[in-house]
């Protein structure tokens, strides 16, 4: 079911100051996809989620779930959360400690007045789906973090909601369990035709789980797109920087030199010299930021060999080298820029060594300032 | 969602406001009136009369010595005990928990009586024994004096002061002390220059609360002060409204106003101080056990002192009452006393119709009062903790207001109101008064229970499709059960022994246990008094034990 949010704003009064948690948000969340709201803490992503589910009341605008308007300032519509028919997994899981697993999962069906055998059947079905068969009588407090997470998921799914919402559901798990649970969650959601709205500040989680990502900042949606688009082809400097580690170098667009054809490329001058980048419609002479991800800088030992084919080849010197386990992280001084790069542990590099590297134009991303 | 919550908040403000502000308004109106029957005509005569009475200034001086002496003594004792428990290697630390909790089960009235039975000048057991042993002509101790009052009241206030000081001392950041030691200061200098100054807000809070509580105390002044003709404000008020043929509620209201103002002011000071002490103390390095001061050779003598104190606080009062209830008249324990022991006082008490009525009334008030009080507290605490509007803040201030009301003063305020209504001299007047005055004691355990319930637990129920009412019934109330049980028992055990409000509101037919005990003491029927006192202690202790058991059973291990 599609969710349409138009013109939604929400401000708080905190310590005498007004804080704009949501600032005129317009967003369409497509049906039956995993849609992620990604952003740093305090960007308003959780507030937006809570507005969708009805636990928070916006100041203005309209929220539509499917064909139903669940909130509208102008039409004076406000459907309470219990009437919206959604499922939600809370950051704390909110497993009721005075109930066992069965009662927790059965709750949404019971409050809807489902028959007893129907409740038993659907709870069993859902628990099987989240691989918690045989845990029915277990007290909720006697579950591990991962199990609690699955009980919360089962409870959100059991009443077959149109939409399921996740508020940073993995942030309370330790790193290893988080990775496993993320894969499980992806598998569970993949099997269901359901609209999932997922809130996180973890970019890896967002990239791995989502069909679509909306990056938020200061109460606004900055950019929306597929994980690949957000990662490789972001339009905004903030998004490019937030979604992954990036070397950001100020650059100026220059015109093609006569005699050389650079089809589908935009040329810039920057601290690294003249670099051919992904095609962007930017005016010649304009300022932009060149964004290069560290994993696309492949270091080779020694100075760059001079020659006519040395397009996008940059020379530099290793300023520092830090071992981080699977690789070395090197800081390279190239021209007047300092770049972060990754080097294989067996590359045999040392601090002070001269290096060179070639940049593939497809991985040289130009973003607006 | 916002609308029904606002409605709830405002209706609670109306109810709690009526219960707390109303008696104060009536007290104020009453103080400017001629008398209970001449309500409505404005006059300042009562103020002039009350405050020009030369006896009033003696009462005031007595009161000042009494409350300051009591507070000082109880704070010093509590400080000493808290230090020994949290910071030294004194043995059997479990005893400190007992000292801080158990005395609360013994009603103040009976505690005062038991010390009067031990140390009164004519036939106090200790005095009799000492006279026999040393052939003295005069009793060496006279409990019926200002010093006797201070001694007994200080022992009664000790647990409260200890409960304020011990946690403050336990959460104290030891690094502050250690750095003082590293700087070259010894144990004593560190104690005086670092430990005590850092604890100052907590110490002042304990001291202030001691003043408020002893100002409102009626048990000790009536049991120990009145026989010795030492009047303090509480007994001064009591004399005005109960003795003689010329009861004067107008004058009592006029005096009561200044007691009330003093009490409210002190509570404001107290709350400021506790807020400050929390700010002071919470900066502690967690997980570090404070290094314990080794007491060395002083260890056993100091422990002996603590043991003696716990005997005086717990064993002695109960033992004296039990003993007195079995012997025919006051006599030193021995072979003769043992041979004369019998159940005659118990028979007399259990066959006395007024006593049985008092027992019935007290049990009714405990059960009904605690039930209604807790039900009201659940809603008030919900609004205070979960609804964070300005109106909720108003409700919070309103509901904690009666915490600072001295029972006898607020009783006089209620009296001015009840006289105008058919509630006068009925059990319902007592019920209303009890709930209004003790509401904060019901709200406190409930608020802490609500604070522990994460808002997600409630919200997820809403998202699951449950209405707010279903959410209240199936999620919130079950999680509140431990708090509800604790609050119910606390209120019930307070109502079983209630004295200060009852002395004003109780009338023939609406006697309660404490009033009956007071009557027995006025008639010098110590044997019957003791027997009834034991019954009261049994009920009260039974409730506390029950609370602990139920509380443990419902304890939910946090996820």
SS (H, E, C) B186-234: CHHHHHHHHHHHHCHHHHHHHHHHHHHHHHHCCHHHHHHHCCCCCCCHH
| Contact: B559, A141; criterion CB under 8 Å | yes
User: How high is the ipTM of this complex?
Assistant: 0.77
Which residues from chain A sit within 8 angstroms of residue B483, using beta carbons? none
Residues A229 and A251 grouped into a single domain: no
How close does chain B come to A123, measured CA to CA in Å? 14
Q: How far apart, in whole angstroms, are the C-alpha atoms of residue B86 and residue B489?
A: 29
Kindly determine whether residue A141 and residue B557, on different chains, have CB atoms separated by under 8 Å: yes
Of B209, B210, B202, B192, nearest to B166 by C-alpha is B202
One pLDDT digit (tens) per residue for chain B, 559 residues: 456 778 888 888 889 988 888 888 888 888 888 766 666 677 787 888 888 888 889 999 999 999 999 999 999 999 988 888 888 888 888 788 777 777 777 888 999 999 998 888 888 888 888 888 888 888 888 889 999 999 999 998 988 888 888 888 877 766 677 777 777 677 778 778 877 888 888 898 889 989 999 998 999 999 999 888 899 999 998 888 886 666 788 888 888 888 999 998 888 888 888 777 665 544 444 444 556 777 778 888 888 888 888 888 888 888 888 888 888 877 777 777 777 778 888 888 888 899 999 999 999 999 999 999 999 998 898 888 887 778 888 888 888 888 888 888 999 888 888 888 888 888 999 999 999 999 988 888 888 888 878 888 888 999 888 888 888 888 888 888 878 888 888 889 889 989 989 988 888 888 999 999 999 988 888 889 999 999 998 888 888 777 777 766 655 433 3
With CA atoms as reference, the chain A residue closest to B452 would be A97
Could you say which of B2, B460, B558 has the minimum Cβ distance to residue A94?
B460
**Token pair for B210:** 């001691």
Which domain, by its residues, includes A61?
A: 3-240
Residues of chain A with pLDDT > 70, as a percent, come to 95
Cβ distance of A155 and B478 shorter than 8 Å = no
Whether the pLDDT of residue A304 is over 80: the answer is no
Q: Do A111 and B559 touch (CB under 8 A)?
A: no
Same domain flag for A88 and A166: yes
Same domain (yes/no): A218, A258: no
Interface of A with B in 21-60 (CB under 8 A): 53-55, 57
Please state, in angstroms and rounded to a whole number, the distance separating the CA atoms of residues B45 and A206. Answer: 79
A289: tokens are 């930021």
pLDDT tops 70 at residue A150 = yes
Q: Which of A323, A360, A313 is nearest to A344 (CA)?
A: A323
Q: Which two tokens stand for residue B31?
A: 């103080």
As a whole number, mean pLDDT of residues A165-189 equals 85
pLDDT of B559 reads 32
> By C-alpha distance, which of A55, A59, A57 is closest to A23?
A59
* Cα separation, B12 vs A1, whole angstroms: 42
- Please determine whether the domains at B1-30+343-559 and B44-341 fall in the same fold group of CATH: yes
Q: A174 burial class (0-12, 13-18, 19+ CB within 10 angstroms)?
A: exposed
Spatial distance between the Cα atoms of B188 and B453, rounded to a whole number of angstroms = 44
Residues in CB range of B272: below 8 A, 6 or more apart: none
Where a domain ends, among A217, A240, A263?
Answer: A240
Q: How far is B559 from chain A (nearest CA, A)?
A: 5
CA distance, residue A111 to nearest chain B CA (Å): 6
Q: Does A95 touch chain B (CB under 8 A)?
A: yes
Could you tell me if A129 lies within 8 Å of chain B, comparing CB atoms? no
What residues does each domain of chain B span?
1-30+343-559, 44-341
pLDDT for res A310: 62
Contacts of B147 (CB under 8 A, 6+ apart): B69
What is the model's pLDDT at position B532? Answer: 92
Alpha-carbon distance A157 to nearest alpha carbon in chain B (angstroms) = 10
Considering only residues B275 and A207, tell me which one the structure prediction assigns the higher pLDDT. Answer: A207
A254 and A194 inside one domain: no
- Whether residue A260 sits in one domain with residue A201: no
**d(CA B378, nearest CA chain A) in Å:** 18
What DSSP character marks residue A140?
G
DSSP B293: B
Query: How many A/B residue pairs have CB atoms within 8 Å?
Result: 84
Of A81, A93, A98, the CB nearest to B479: A98
* CB proximity under 8 Å: A 62-91 to B: 80-88, 90-91
Q: Find the CATH number of the domain harbouring A351.
A: 2.40.50.140
Cβ-defined contact of B463 to A80 (cutoff 8 Å): no
Judge whether residue A181 has pLDDT over 90. Answer: no
Which positions in chain B touch A95 (Cβ < 8 Å)?
A: 559
CATH number of the domain enclosing A49: 3.40.50.300
**3-class secondary-structure state, position B105:** helix
Identify whether residues A172 and A284 lie together within a single domain.
no
Of the residues A173, A207, A240, which one is the last residue of a structural domain? A240
Q: Identify the residue among A57, A78, A81, A140 best suited for mutation to test binding to B, counting B beta carbons within 10 A and taking the highest.
A: A81
Whether the predicted model's global pTM rises above the 0.80 cut: no
Answer with the residue of higher pLDDT: B100 or A58.
Answer: A58
CB contact, 8 Å: A125 with chain B?
no
Q: What ranges in chain A are assigned the alpha helix state H?
A: 45-53, 101-111, 116-129, 145-157, 175-191, 203-209, 227-232, 237-243
- Partner residue opposite A81 with nearest CB, options B463, B556, B558: B463
CATH class, range B1-30+343-559:
mainly alpha
**B interface mutation test: which of A16, A55, A93 has the most B CBs within 10 A?**
A55
What pLDDT does residue A48 have? 93
Query: Of A220, A240, A260, which residue constitutes the final position of a domain?
Result: A240
Asked if A16 reaches chain B (Cβ–Cβ under 8 Å), the answer is no
HSE toward the beta carbon, residue B180, CA cutoff 13 A: 18
In terms of domains, do A216 and A259 share one? no
Residue A216 has pLDDT above 90, yes or no: yes
Domains contained in chain A, number = 2
Per the CB < 8 A criterion, the answer to whether B67 and B217 are in contact is: no
Would the CB atoms of B2 and A88 count as touching at under 8 Å? no
A87 and A207 housed in the same domain: yes
Q: Are A159 and B464 in contact (CB under 8 A)?
A: yes
- Residues 152-191 in A contacting B (C-alpha not used; CB under 8 Å): 152, 155-156, 159
CATH number of B44-341: 1.10.3720.10
Question: At A306, is the pLDDT very low, low, confident or very high (cuts 50, 70, 90)?
Answer: low
One domain for residues A195 and A273: no
Name the pLDDT band for A55 (thresholds 50, 70, 90).
Answer: confident
> Cα–Cα distance between A87 and A158 in angstroms, integer?
9
Contacts of B553 (CB under 8 A, 6+ apart): none
Contact with chain B for residue A140, Cβ under 8 A? yes
């Amino acid at each position: 079911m599609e969710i349409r949010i138009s013109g939604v704003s929400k401000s708080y009064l905190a310590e005498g100051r007004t804080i704009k948690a949501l600032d005129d948000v317009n967003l369409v969340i497509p049906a039956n996809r995993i849609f992620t709201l990604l952003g740093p803490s305090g960007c308003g992503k959780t507030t937006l989620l809570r507005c969708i589910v009805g636990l928070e009341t916006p100041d203005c605008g309209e929220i539509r779930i499917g064909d139903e308007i669940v909130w509208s300032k102008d039409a004076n519509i406000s459907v309470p959360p219990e009437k919206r028919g959604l499922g939600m997994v809370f950051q704390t899981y909110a497993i009721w400690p005075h109930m066992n697993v069965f009662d927790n999962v059965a709750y949404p069906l019971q409050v809807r007045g489902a028959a007893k055998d129907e409740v038993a059947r659907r709870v069993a079905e859902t628990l099987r789906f989240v691989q918690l068969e045989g845990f029915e009588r277990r007290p909720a407090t006697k579950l591990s973090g991962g199990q609690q997470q699955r009980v919360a998921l089962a409870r959100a799914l059991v009443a077959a909601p149109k939409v399921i919402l996740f508020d940073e559901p993995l942030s309370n798990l330790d790193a290893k369990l988080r990775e496993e649970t993320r894969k499980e969650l992806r598998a569970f959601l993949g099997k269901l035709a359901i609209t999932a709205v997922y809130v996180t500040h973890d970019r890896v989680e967002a990239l791995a789980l989502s069909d679509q990502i909306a990056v938020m900042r200061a109460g606004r949606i900055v950019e929306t797109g597929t994980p690949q688009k957000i990662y490789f082809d972001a339009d905004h400097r903030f998004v490019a920087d937030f979604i992954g580690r990036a070397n950001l170098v100020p650059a100026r667009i220059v015109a093609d030199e006569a005699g050389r054809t650079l089809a589908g490329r935009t040329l810039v001058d920057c601290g690294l010299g003249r670099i051919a980048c992904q095609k962007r419609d930017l005016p010649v002479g304009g300022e932009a930021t060149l964004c290069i991800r560290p994993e696309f800088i492949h270091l080779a030992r020694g100075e760059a060999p001079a020659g006519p084919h040395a397009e996008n080849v940059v020379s530099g010197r290793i300023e520092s080298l830090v071992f981080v386990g699977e690789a070395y992280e090197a800081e390279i001084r190239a021209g007047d820029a300092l770049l972060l790069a990754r080097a294989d542990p067996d590359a045999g590099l040392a601090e002070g060594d001269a290096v060179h590297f070639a940049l593939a134009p497809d991985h040289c991303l130009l973003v607006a300032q | 969602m916002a609308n029904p919550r606002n409605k709830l908040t405002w209706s609670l403000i109306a109810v709690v406001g009526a219960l707390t502000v109303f008696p104060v308004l009536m007290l104020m109106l009453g103080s400017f009136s001629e008398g209970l029957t001449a309500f409505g005509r404005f006059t300042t005569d009562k103020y002039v009369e009350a405050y020009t009475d030369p006896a009033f200034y003696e009462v005031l001086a007595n009161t000042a010595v009494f409350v300051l002496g009591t507070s000082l003594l109880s704070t010093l004792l509590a400080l000493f005990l808290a230090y020994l428990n949290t910071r030294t290697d004194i043995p059997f630390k479990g005893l400190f928990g007992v000292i801080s909790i158990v005395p609360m089960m013994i009603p103040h009235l009976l505690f005062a009586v038991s010390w009067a039975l031990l140390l009164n000048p004519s036939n106090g057991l200790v005095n009799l024994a000492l006279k026999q042993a040393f052939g003295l002509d005069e009793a060496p101790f006279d409990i019926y004096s200002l010093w006797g009052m201070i001694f007994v009241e200080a022992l009664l206030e000790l647990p409260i002061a200890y409960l304020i000081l011990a946690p403050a001392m336990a959460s104290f950041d030891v690094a502050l002390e250690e750095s003082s030691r590293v700087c070259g200061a010894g144990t004593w200098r560190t104690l005086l220059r670092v430990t005590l100054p850092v604890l100052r807000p907590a110490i002042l809070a304990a001291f202030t609360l001691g003043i408020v509580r002893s100002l409102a105390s009626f048990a000790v002044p009536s049991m120990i002060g009145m026989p010795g003709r030492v009047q303090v404000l509480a007994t001064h008020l009591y004399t005005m409204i109960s003795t003689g043929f010329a009861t004067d509620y107008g004058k009592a209201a006029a005096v009561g106003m200044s007691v009330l103002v003093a009490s409210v002011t002190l509570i404001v000071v107290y709350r400021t101080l506790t807020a400050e002490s929390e700010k002071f103390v919470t900066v502690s390095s967690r997980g570090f056990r404070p290094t314990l001061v080794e007491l060395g050779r002083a260890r056993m003598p100091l422990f002996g002192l603590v043991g003696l104190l716990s005997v005086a606080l717990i064993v002695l009062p109960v033992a004296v009452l039990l003993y007195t209830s079995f012997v025919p008249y006051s006599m030193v324990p021995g072979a003769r006393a043992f041979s004369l022991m019998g159940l005659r006082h118990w028979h007399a008490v259990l066959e006395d119709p007024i006593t049985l009525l008092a027992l019935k009334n007290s049990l009714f008030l405990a059960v009904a009062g605690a039930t209604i009080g807790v039900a009201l507290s659940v809603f008030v605490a919900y609004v205070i903790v979960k609804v964070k509007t300005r109106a909720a803040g108003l409700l919070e201030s309103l509901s904690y207001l009666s915490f600072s009301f001295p029972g006898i003063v607020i009783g006089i305020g209620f009296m001015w109101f009840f006289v105008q209504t058919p509630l006068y001299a009925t059990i319902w007047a007592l019920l209303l008064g009890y709930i209004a005055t003790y509401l904060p004691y019901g709200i406190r355990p409930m608020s802490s229970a609500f604070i522990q319930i994460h808002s997600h637990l409630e919200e997820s129920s809403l998202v699951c499709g449950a209405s707010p009412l279903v959410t209240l019934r199936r999620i919130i109330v079950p999680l509140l059960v431990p708090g509800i049980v604790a609050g119910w028992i606390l209120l019930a055990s307070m109502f079983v022994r209630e004295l200060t409000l009852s002395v004003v509101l109780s009338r023939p037919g609406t006697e309660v246990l404490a009033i009956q005990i007071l009557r027995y003491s006025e008639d010098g029927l110590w044997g019957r008094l003791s027997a009834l006192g034991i019954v009261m202690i049994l009920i009260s202790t039974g409730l506390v034990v029950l609370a602990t058991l139920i509380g443990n059973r419902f304890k939910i291990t946090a996820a």
